[in-house]
């Protein structure tokens, strides 16, 4: 979907026949970015921190700011790329690319004519909210959490693994328009590395992580 849009802009074409934008290089980039969470998960193995520890805790200050706002950090990195773009690159090209990527992120993780695609997948595969307070059953993870319930039973696509992979591809495509890298943009990747680490410290089951990577990579290869 995104690639179909990008093909209209020669400077953004993922499938041009030259150099770094060749199909072989782009395919390799998709595979590498998609496998990052999976490989990290396998590498960590049993050396995972207990969930009650401060660093991996979702309620910790660091994670509530960084891991709780993954697309914010992706957008900040993209803003740095935008400011250092080559003069030949049109502002509307970068903005349109970011808008398309953001729309896909919202559909998968936040809203898709109601519940997000991840919530719809979870319910369609037998998941439900249990032990919730209220008369009607919550249909989204956030509603379930607010009602004090537990989101269990279905195939829960990893939102963090999806976001990490999807944002990697967005930043990859925007980065090709940059002037030489600056320390500011390099520093902006720090929070993103932390989000990636937290994704694999307390991961979803491996299949849910793989599914998330496939969903993220698919939009860049169609």
What does the block give as tokens for 150?
Answer: 């537990």
Q: What is the pLDDT of residue 41?
A: 56
H or E element, residue 152 = strand 150-152
Q: What is the pLDDT of residue 21?
A: 45
Q: What is the pLDDT of residue 25?
A: 46
CB atoms within 10 A of CB 211: 20
Q: What is the pLDDT of residue 196?
A: 62
37, 27, 20, 32: which is closest to 212 by C-alpha?
A: 37
H or E element, residue 3 = helix 2-6
Q: What is the pLDDT of residue 13?
A: 38
Q: What is the pLDDT of residues 131-156, one digit of tens each?
A: 777 767 777 888 888 888 888 888 88
For the chain, 222 residues long, the average pLDDT of each consecutive 10-residue run is 52 40 46 55 52 56 65 79 67 81 89 85 86 74 81 82 81 66 59 63 71 83 64
Q: What is the pLDDT of residue 6?
A: 54
Look up tokens 């903005």; give the residue.
Answer: 95
Q: What is the pLDDT of residue 94?
A: 78
Q: What is the pLDDT of residue 158?
A: 81
Distance CA 33, CA 171 (A): 11
H or E element, residue 117 = helix 117-124
Distance CA 31, CA 148 (A): 38
Q: What is the pLDDT of residue 222?
A: 59
Q: What is the pLDDT of residues 162-172, one digit of tens each?
A: 888 888 778 77
User: Hey, CA dihedral for 5, 11, 17, 23, is it positive or negative?
Assistant: negative
DSSP secondary-structure letter at 37? H
Q: What is the pLDDT of residue 49?
A: 52
Distance CA 121, CA 108 (A): 10
User: Hey, CA dihedral for 43, 69, 73, 190, is it positive or negative?
Assistant: negative
215, 118, 126: which is closest to 165 by C-alpha?
A: 215
């Amino acid at each position: 979907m995104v690639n179909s849009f990008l093909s209209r802009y020669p400077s953004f074409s993922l499938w041009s026949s030259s150099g770094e934008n060749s199909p072989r290089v782009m395919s390799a980039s998709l595979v590498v970015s998609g496998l990052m969470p999976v490989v990290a998960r396998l590498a960590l193995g049993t050396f995972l921190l207990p969930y009650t520890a401060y660093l991996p805790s979702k309620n910790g200050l660091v994670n509530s700011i960084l891991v709780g706002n993954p697309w914010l950090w992706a957008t900040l990195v993209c803003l740095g790329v935008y400011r250092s773009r080559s003069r030949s690159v049109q502002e509307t090209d970068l903005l349109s690319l970011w808008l398309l990527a953001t729309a896909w992120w919202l559909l998968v993780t936040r809203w898709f004519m109601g519940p997000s695609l991840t919530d719809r997948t979870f319910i369609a595969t037998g998941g439900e909210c249990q032990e919730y307070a209220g008369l009607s059953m919550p249909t989204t993870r956030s509603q379930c959490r607010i009602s004090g319930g537990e989101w269990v039973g279905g195939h829960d696509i990893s939102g963090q693994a999806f976001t990490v992979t999807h944002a990697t591809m967005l930043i990859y495509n925007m980065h090709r328009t940059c002037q030489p890298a600056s320390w500011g943009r390099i520093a902006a990747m720090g929070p993103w590395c932390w989000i990636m680490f937290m994704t694999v410290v307390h991961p979803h089951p491996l299949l849910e992580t793989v599914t998330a990577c496939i969903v993220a990579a698919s939009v860049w290869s169609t």
